[in-house]
Amino acid sequence: MSASPELGARALVFSDGGPIRLCICTSEVVSEPNRPKDHSEWLCRPMIFTELLGMYFSMGGRIFIFVFLIHCIFFPVTSKTECRSLAISAFWSRQSEMSSLREDVVLEKQRQKVAELRGTTEMIITGNERLKTSAIVAQRRHIAIIDGTSERDDGGHVATLNEEIRQSKAEEELVDEVTEEAYQVDVNDLHEARIVEFGGEELSTDVEWDTVLEKVELYRSRLAKTWCLCDPLYYLLVDHSGFHGPTSDLLKDYLPHIRHFLPKEMCFTVPTFSEEEADFFDLLIMADDVDDIVAVTSEQKRAKKLVSKMIESVIMPMRNYLSEVEHMMRNVVPLMDATVALDKRCWVRYGEKSLEATAARRNKGSDPNKRARVGYKVDTAIEYQELDWAPVIGCVEISGGLPRCSRSKEWDDTLKLGLELRDLWVFTEEQLVGVDTTHLVFWGLTVVARTIRIYALAALGGLFHLVLVHEASLPSSREDLINVELAYLTLMGFKEKLEATIKELCNLNRKRVVLMARGKRKDMSGSPKRGSAKKPKIICTPN
């Protein structure tokens, strides 16, 4: 047997001693360059069975089988498809390796950039700290030279820069020792707040204010610095609700007596519906669709709008999981708009507004061009705009969202409200200097989960008194939608108290102007007064 490669087609020549026979296996012309010489490719052609059968009869059975076995052993079958598949898989494997290498390179470059940025940031921070320290040292040295009090060494120079830098750093570390995390109220000192009841028999004897002030001052002197920020007695602020346990324990023998002498303007009464208003609210609450109820008067239209918004709030999904801002906008703002905001003389400012009264107190006696401090951030401030000094007459604090916040957060916002009302009282007293502000009362409210709490603040006996006068619940579902009536009436009562404060402010302002115009102005604080009219001291936030 021999193969003839010179033919235009592949052929096998078989010879067994007899005549030579030529068997054509395929008619494919081998003309591709660099094609691998695969002598067994003919076994994969479509005509394989017909050709093998012809070879079998032409060669004889035994010789054909022998030749076929030898060919299969030394020339295994490999198809073009298998070769192509192996090449493709190798190609994509190399592509995957290259892609992973490129990703590693990009990641390494990003890590280098981050490291460079961190180094730059650290350099900037260090540079700023050194600039700040240098400025402090330079200012101290300049003042010492001017005053002639600078210490000089043997060379006649001012004390070394390193010593002053160490002193400056020591002062900064001393300030940083007491951080905000340290100013945390002890939850065990907090109890459930209670509404204060006014009334009863009038007492003929005055409170022993000197004794009360001595007890408070002794308590303040023993108060650790880390507890000053969250203790109302540090600010000479008395909590009458029982929320702050140490206040109730310290003044338990005096608080009932003190309440008899608080201004009668602090008494809070909830207004009531007329029969027509009550019937209309009942229709709105019982209706399957509020839009089916026809509103005629402006009051009915406002009530319909309020109930519609409250229904949307109590049927919305995740209504019991709201942030502080969303809780205020969905459950508090509709009530404020339907009550307090109706007075066009007032501007109801929503959302973290700086309290000007606090800013004025903090910047008093200092140059605001060198260091200007802002006031407390109030969730809602109610500003009366009919006076030239635009006093804020009420504040609202939202104690977290839903579900209910922690007890410490609740107390922090309550104390913050008390200090805000105190600053309003102080700012107003400074504007109305020369007239008697004994009966001046400021109002505020807090919202804890779905509970509205109304607070009143007045000054008496050298102390500020924060009194919880009323509570009301907000609706949480269609089943207790009736709560919207009580919440609405509570806010209407709050509006009436704000109007009473406005009336008192206008009267006092009128008296002040008359005294100034007639030359009869006198400082009321200098005139002899009873102990109950003693002006409280203003205690600032501890540094």
**Which pLDDT tens digit goes with each residue over 130-153?**
777 766 666 666 555 554 444 444
pLDDT at 166: 55
CA distance 152 to 154: 7
Q: Distances in Å between the alpha carbon of 307 and those of 181, 334, 401, 415, 504?
A: 42, 9, 21, 32, 33
Backbone φ/ψ region at 207: left (φ over 0), alpha (ψ -120 to 50), beta? beta
Q: Distances in Å between the alpha carbon of 272 and those of 339, 446, 522?
A: 14, 22, 43
CATH number for 320-458+468-528 (one of 3.90.1570, 3.30.450, 3.30.70, 3.40.50): it is 3.90.1570
Does pTM surpass 0.75?
no
pLDDT at 13: 42
List the domain boundaries for the chain.
2-78, 83-177, 320-458+468-528
3-class SS string, 154-199? CCCCECCHHHHHHHHHHHHHHHHHCCHHHCCCCHHHECCCCCCCCC
**What percentage of the chain carries pLDDT values higher than 70?**
70
8 Å CB contact between 23 and 55: yes
At residue 420 the predicted structure's pLDDT band, cuts being 50, 70 and 90, is very high
pLDDT at 38: 45
CA distance 491 to 341: 11
Nearest to 464 by CA among 407, 404, 424: 424
CA distance 107 to 129: 33
CA distance 261 to 462: 13
Summary mean pLDDT of the chain: 79
Nearest to 394 by CA among 353, 441, 444, 344: 444
Max Cα separation, the chain?
154
**Can the peptide bond before residue 403 be classed as cis, meaning omega within 30 degrees of 0?**
yes
8 Å CB contact between 41 and 30: no
The tokens for 539 are 């205690």
526/456: higher pLDDT:
456
Structure-derived torsion over alpha carbons of residues 119, 125, 128, 129, reported in degrees to the nearest 10: -120
Mean pLDDT for the stretch of residues 491-507: 97
Task: State yes or no: pLDDT of 64 exceeds 90.
Answer: no
pLDDT at 101: 86
Mean pLDDT for the stretch of residues 252-275: 92
Q: Which of 57-71, 382-396, 400-414, 481-495 has the lowest mean pLDDT?
A: 57-71
Nearest to 291 by CA among 308, 315, 303: 308
CA distance 56 to 332: 101
pLDDT at 139: 64
Residue 113 phi, psi dihedral angles, 5° rounding: -65, -45
Mean pLDDT for the stretch of residues 459-487: 95
Q: Distances in Å between the alpha carbon of 495 and those of 77, 175, 216, 336, 491?
A: 99, 43, 34, 9, 6
For the beta sheet containing 11-14, the strands, ordered from the edge strand earlier in sequence to the opposite edge, are 2-3, 11-14, 21-24
Mean pLDDT for the stretch of residues 231-258: 93
Nearest to 265 by CA among 45, 79, 500: 500
